[in-house]
Amino acid sequence: MDKTVVAHPQVLCWLRESILDSHVATFLAYLRDRGYARQTQHSYICAVAHFARWLSLEKARLPDLNDQVVRQFLSVHLPHCSCPYPVLRTKHEIHAALRHLLAALRASGVIRQRQDADPISLELARFDNYMLHVRGLAISTRRQRALIIRKFLLAQRRGKHFESGRLSVNGVRAFVLSGYGKCSAGTVGVVGGAVRCFLRCRALEGDNIEHLREAVPTAAHWRLTGLPELLSGQEVSTLLNSFSALKDSPKRAYAMVRCLTDLGLRASEVVQLQLDDVDWEKGTIHLPMGKLRRGNILPLPEKTGQAIMDYLRTERPRTSNRAVFVRHVAPYDLPIGAGVVRRAVREAYQRCGLAHTRVHILRHSLASMLLSKGAPLKEIADLLRHRSLDTSMIYTKVDLRRLAAVAMPWPGRQL
């Protein structure tokens, strides 16, 4: 037992009498290295002590610890727990602590690395390999399709096993139309696309599934029929000015949203920015490979560069990670996820009283503003990195000044 652990005597007793006794120091070092606060370390030790007591009662062996044992503790023991004071019973806190415990034990070689050997996980691994090396899909697309196909396979399996030969036309149609929870045209398109991609993968493996591919329903979709949601110039200014009232990480949020409004970046592109991507002397920023599988070099506007520099100098924590935008809470030394960008934008909309929620609106707004100022459509398409000029054509629908100049008189209108 690590003598530096400060906790209730009963907590220390549970740890000391368990199979985890000699590994508490390893766990604490793991937490300290990732910058967790003392209070968090204390809570996680209490959670591990509860788990350790249960392991002792179950006479569990240390080499057998894995995710399944943790799930059994959380789903079977915790709901009916009658362990004495001062046991911790907060499920989300215990789950987080035990996830870190397993990671620490695996990193130190105490228990085996995680093995995803069940049939569905193996199938998803093959599917991901196909999407990456055969289709060349981006990681966000692969992650989305893998989640959809996992639910699809779980819906089609019999007992604990999945067999591609058991896939049926009715099963495919039912899942695409209603099995994913929604039946909108957009959802049918996304889910149907994922299922088709999976069936192509299975066909490449030699399965005879042509009849299943033909059974995947499609939703009617007419390109460029709708109008993009936009913010006016005044609304964009109000949005950018709202970050001064933010208490937590205001400069990071402001710099991220500046990248969205000034450069038209996607949320996934913002979080992928590296310190080496910004050329301060030339005033350019290099974007990593995106949906087109190629990088781009864009001019860095002065206000955008100033916002990034202000964040780097005064708010970004000390870290060895080369990402521009990093986590401000433990575990440190990690870049943020795209969800942090989306949350920053949604909260900014709420502060400004706007009913919008989507990050992509800022990208649409930039394109519309450039078009209204006379920028050629080709330059807008290049800035937004559109694969086809047709994708940028939708912004001409909201340029009312130019549309009015070419509008024909309505038949029968009195002059």
Structural domain boundaries of the chain? 9-107, 119-215, 233-402
Q: What is the 3-state secondary structure (H, E, C) of 131-165?
A: HHHCCCCCHHHHHHHHHHHHHHHHHHCECCECCHH
**Four-way CATH pick for 233-402: 1.10.287.110, 2.60.40.730, 3.40.640.10, 1.10.443.10:** 1.10.443.10
Of 42-56, 87-101, 173-187, 206-220, the least confident: 173-187
Angle subtended at Cα 318 by Cα 316 and Cα 321, rounded to the nearest 5 degrees: 90
- pTM (2 d.p.): 0.75
Burial class for 257, CB neighbours closer than 10 Å (0-12, 13-18, 19+) = buried
Residue 388: predicted pLDDT:
63
Q: Is 150 within 8 Å of 124 (Cβ atoms)?
A: yes
Same fold, 119-215 and 233-402: no
DSSP at 205: T
Of 21-35, 206-220, 259-273, 344-358, the least confident: 206-220
Q: Which string of b and e fits 281-295 if b means at least 16 CB within 10 Å?
A: eeeebebeebeeeee
Burial class for 149, CB neighbours closer than 10 Å (0-12, 13-18, 19+) = buried
Residue 404: predicted pLDDT:
54
Q: Is 363 within 8 Å of 260 (Cβ atoms)?
A: yes
Averaged pLDDT for residues 209-234:
79
Q: What is the pLDDT of residues 387-415, one digit of tens each?
A: 665 566 666 555 555 555 555 666 766 55
Catalytic residues: 266, 291, 360, 363, 386, 395
Residue 158: predicted pLDDT:
60
What is d(CA 198, CA 153) in angstroms, rounded to the nearest whole number? 10
119-215 sits in which CATH class? mainly alpha
**Whether residue 102 has pLDDT greater than 90:** yes
